[in-house]
């Protein structure tokens, strides 16, 4: 049966790399984001690479009114429906410290917006008895650190939501993959200092697709981050609070 | 973050630049970055200072790499400038199409191939990359502009091989070439000396030819090597795609020292039986033999290396032999030395190719290299040949006009498209390409 993916935040480099892999194996893709002209070029790329269908829809995590037309479009699509969420925002922690009202936007972009969308999509996956949800969170969600704990908190919230959604969808044949990338070479990290083990978006996309095919639950990409975060999580709080890592 | 300050270099890593770099991933970000006005650069597979803008800004196009439209009937592909040649080969070869001209590395971008009007192992048949460009979209001072060769021949010729000086190349329409399968039948023949090499090129009927030379040999064995002749063949991939190897650190100086190179070359040539051997190879392994080692330039150590590449007219075989003699005598060559016969095909004023023979040799960066290079440059000039900008870091500005007779026509066009010189690169400044000396 044909599979159609809704890609939220489709013009990020990680989403683009993942979309290309789906397209090259003949899946359908519906690309959702805020810049229609840009998405149209990404859709063209998917079509040339062999996507069964490649369309664009307007999506804004901060505007729930944008969700319904997308869900209507998905209802009309036959076959298995799957979703991949690449949205999120990470203003510099210093900007947030100067203007704490930014926190609501970060939480909406990285957690509550996509969660609301997925919550509306979930009954469709349940009804069809199949479908995969890929949720991209971050290693930053594994422990609050001085450098980006607002972003980390939003991603932690999203990761917990995904865990619950997995629990729910597993009852009806659906599946949820939680993806925790480490540092990835994207526009968001361009020029950022102190990065190491930086992965190419293509590597992350490869790991995600493998996880989808093998129905993995939670993955770290690259894998080494699993060990790194295990260590970071194991540091006792009395010590951790004095570190700046 | 839009801009970062970074030190960066070309493939040879000898010449470095420090400046601000942007790497836009979408059109709005690209428009903002280009408004900052520096040259657009690709994957920095040029060896010298062609992709550098020391103290200024440069815009990396590598994330603008989408395939925009493809017609499976005609093989016409429209693609953003940052897409790599290897990616086009990977995507389209299984569908029966591939780029008509492919340089020796698949990491080169479409924009880079245009800006250097690159050639491949089929130059004697297919001409240069720019001859298969049906049109392109250029970001100029006045905004984006479609450039087709028949409508705007002057601007088109200034852009092909034009070092990015007419504007940032945004996308291009390419005529792909039909390919019967995914394999190359390769015949490798041992060649005894330089004269036999030229004779072998002259009598070869193969679509693809390239010669590897043991540049450590002198006297009677000067120019000995291996001729590779490739013919496209039907059938699927022979064997799986092999994973790239990375070089974990800069190699010590000893790694490519003279005795090691001699030993390696002797081994390399001994693999080929006295007669010849035939094998079938996957396309990308034939076209991009070194790409399997992802960052092989680190094998030359942190000081980097130069490549000398020249072309001389067909009747200057003896002069080219003398050039090879100079290199062999100097005792600095690396295992990478390549000889090839070129046809007349070229698409731009500053295109490298001419009907003749081209020789490319790598030199590890050593104190004596500039002096040897100067001597080689004079020999090239005397033979009526030219040096290749894509490889160059050492040429002298006074010699360029003689090597590139259409330089003044190019200058006239550039004066119109970028009057303030905001797209100039380190190479353009070093060679005074834009100003009359």
| ipTM score for this prediction | 0.94
CB atoms within 10 A of CB A12: 23
CB atoms within 10 A of CB A91: 17
CATH topology of domain B183-396: Vanillyl-alcohol Oxidase; Chain A, domain 3 (3.40.462)
Q: A168-190 burial by CB neighbour count: b if 16+ within 10 A, else e?
A: ebeeeebbbbbbbbbbbbbbbeb
Instruction: Please give the Cα distance from B373 to A240 (Å, whole number).
Output: 58
Q: What is the pLDDT of residues A127-137, one digit of tens each?
A: 999 999 999 99
Instruction: Please give the Cα distance from A82 to A134 (Å, whole number).
Output: 8
Instruction: Please give the Cα distance from B158 to B166 (Å, whole number).
Output: 7
Which residues in chain A are closer than 8 Å to B24, comparing Cβ atoms?
187
- Which pLDDT value is given to residue B413? 95
Query: Does the N-terminal peptide bond of residue A213 adopt cis geometry, omega within 30 degrees of 0?
Result: no
Which residues in chain A are closer than 8 Å to B97, comparing Cβ atoms?
none
- Which pLDDT value is given to residue B164? 97
Q: What is the pLDDT of residues B377-398, one digit of tens each?
A: 999 999 999 999 999 999 999 9
CB atoms within 10 A of CB A111: 24
Q: B20-43 burial by CB neighbour count: b if 16+ within 10 A, else e?
A: bbbbbbbbebbeebbeeebbbbbb
- Which pLDDT value is given to residue B1? 55
- Which pLDDT value is given to residue A193? 84
Element holding A176 (H helix, E strand) = strand A175-181
- Which pLDDT value is given to residue B2? 87
Residue B92, chain A, CB below 8 Å: the answer is no
Query: Are the beta carbons of A38 and B3 separated by less than 8 Å?
Result: no
What tens-digit pLDDT sequence spans chain B (437 residues)? Answer: 589 999 999 999 999 999 999 999 999 999 999 987 799 999 999 999 999 999 999 999 999 999 999 999 999 999 999 999 999 999 999 999 999 999 999 999 999 999 999 999 999 999 999 999 999 999 987 789 999 999 999 999 999 999 999 999 999 999 999 999 999 999 999 999 999 999 999 999 999 999 999 998 999 999 999 999 999 999 998 888 888 888 888 888 777 888 888 888 888 888 888 878 999 999 999 999 999 888 888 888 889 999 999 999 999 999 999 999 999 999 887 788 999 999 999 999 999 999 999 999 999 999 999 999 999 999 999 999 999 999 999 999 999 999 999 999 999 999 999 988 999 999 999 999 998 65
Angstroms from A23 CA to nearest CA on chain B:
11
Residue B294, chain A, CB below 8 Å: the answer is no
Which neighbouring-strand residues pair with B19?
B6
Residue B27, chain A, CB below 8 Å: the answer is yes
Please list the rounded mean pLDDT of every run of 10 residues in chain A (245 residues): 92 96 98 96 98 98 97 96 96 93 97 98 97 97 93 97 98 97 92 88 97 98 94 95 88
Which residues in chain A are closer than 8 Å to B66, comparing Cβ atoms?
41-42, 44-45
B67-179: CATH architecture: 2-Layer Sandwich (3.30)
Q: Which CATH superfamily is domain A3-240 in?
A: NAD(P)-binding Rossmann-like Domain (3.40.50.720)
Residue A48, chain B, CB below 8 Å: the answer is yes
Q: Chain centroid to CA B106: how far?
A: 10
Q: What six digits make up the tokens of A40?
A: 């149209």
* A227 burial level (CB within 10 Å; 0-12, 13-18, 19+): exposed
A40, closest residue in chain B (CA to CA): B68
- Which pLDDT value is given to residue B248? 82
- Which pLDDT value is given to residue A1? 54
Give Cβ neighbours of residue A121 (< 8 Å, ≥ 6 apart). A6, A71, A74, A81, A83, A133
- Which pLDDT value is given to residue B138? 96
B70, closest residue in chain A (CA to CA): A48
Instruction: Please give the Cα distance from B276 to B281 (Å, whole number).
Output: 16
């Amino acid at each position: 049966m044909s599979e159609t993916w809704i890609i939220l935040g489709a013009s990020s480099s990680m989403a683009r790399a993942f979309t290309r892999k789906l397209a090259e194996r003949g899946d359908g893709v519906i690309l959702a984001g805020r810049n229609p002209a840009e998405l149209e070029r990404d859709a063209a790329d998917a079509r040339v690479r062999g996507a069964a269908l490649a369309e664009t829809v307007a999506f804004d995590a901060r505007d729930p009114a944008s969700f319904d037309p997308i869900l209507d479009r998905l209802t009309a699509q036959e076959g298995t429906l799957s979703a991949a969420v690449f949205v999120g925002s990470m203003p510099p922690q210093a900007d947030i410290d100067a203007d704490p009202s930014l926190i609501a936007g970060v939480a909406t972009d990285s957690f509550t917006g996509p969660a609301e969308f997925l919550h509306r999509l979930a009954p469709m996956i349940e009804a069809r008895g199949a479908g995969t949800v890929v949720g991209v969170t971050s290693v930053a969600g594994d422990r609050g650190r001085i450098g980006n704990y607002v972003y980390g908190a939003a991603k932690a919230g999203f990761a917990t939501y995904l865990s619950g959604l997995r629990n729910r969808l597993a009852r009806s044949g659906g599946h949820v993959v939680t993806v925790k990338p480490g540092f990835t070479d994207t526009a968001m990290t361009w020029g950022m200092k102190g990065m190491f083990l930086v992965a190419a978006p293509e590597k992350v996309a490869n790991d995600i697709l493998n996880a989808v095919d093998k129905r993995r639950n939670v993955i770290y990409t690259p894998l080494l981050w699993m060990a790194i975060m295990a260590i970071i999580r194991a540091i006792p709080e009395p010590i951790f609070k004095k570190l700046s890592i | 973050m839009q801009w970062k300050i970074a030190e960066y270099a070309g493939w040879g890593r000898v010449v470095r630049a420090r400046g601000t770099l942007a790497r836009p991933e979408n059109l709005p970000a690209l428009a903002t970055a280009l408004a900052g006005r520096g040259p657009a650069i690709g994957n920095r597979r040029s060896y010298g200072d062609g992709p550098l803008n020391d103290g200024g800004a440069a815009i990396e196009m590598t994330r603008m790499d989408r395939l925009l439209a493809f017609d499976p009937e005609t093989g016409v592909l429209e693609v953003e400038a940052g897409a790599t040649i290897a990616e086009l080969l990977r995507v389209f070869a299984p569908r029966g199409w591939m780029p008509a001209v492919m340089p020796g590395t698949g990491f080169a971008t479409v924009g880079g191939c245009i800006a250097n009007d690159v050639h491949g192992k089929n130059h004697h048949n297919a001409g240069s990359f720019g001859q298969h460009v049906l049109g392109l979209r250029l970001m100029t001072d006045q905004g984006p502009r479609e450039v087709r060769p028949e409508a705007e021949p002057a601007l088109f010729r200034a852009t092909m091989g034009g070092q990015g000086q007419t504007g940032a190349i945004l996308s291009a329409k390419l005529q792909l070439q039909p390919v019967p399968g995914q394999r190359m039948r390769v015949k490798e023949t041992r060649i005894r000396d330089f004269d036999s090499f030229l004779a072998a090129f002259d009598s070869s009927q193969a679509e693809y030819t390239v010669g590897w030379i043991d540049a450590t040999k002198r006297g009677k064995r000067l120019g000995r090597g291996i001729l590779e002749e490739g013919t496209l063949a039907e059938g699927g991939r022979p064997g799986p795609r092999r994973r790239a190897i990375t070089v974990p650190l800069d190699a010590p100086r000893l790694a490519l020292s003279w005795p090691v190179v001699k030993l390696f070359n002797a081994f390399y040539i001994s693999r080929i039986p006295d007669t010849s051997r035939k094998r079938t190879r996957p396309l990308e392994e034939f076209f991009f033999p070194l790409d399997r080692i992802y960052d092989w330039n680190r094998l030359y150590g942190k000081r980097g290396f130069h490549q000398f590449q020249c072309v001389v007219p067909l009747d200057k075989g003896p002069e080219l032999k003398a050039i090879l003699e100079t290199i062999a005598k100097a005792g600095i060559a690396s295992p990478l030395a390549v000889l090839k016969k070129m046809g007349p095909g070229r698409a731009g004023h500053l295109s490298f190719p001419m009907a003749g023979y081209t020789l490319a040799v790598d030199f590890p960066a050593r104190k004596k290299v500039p002096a040897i290079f100067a001597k080689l440059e004079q020999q090239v000039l005397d033979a009526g040949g030219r040096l290749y900008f894509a490889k160059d870091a050492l040429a002298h500005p006074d010699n360029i006009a003689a090597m590139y007779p259409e330089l003044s026509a190019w200058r006239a066009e550039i004066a119109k498209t970028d009057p303030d010189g905001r797209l100039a690169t380190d190479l353009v400044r070093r060679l005074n390409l834009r100003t009359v000396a």
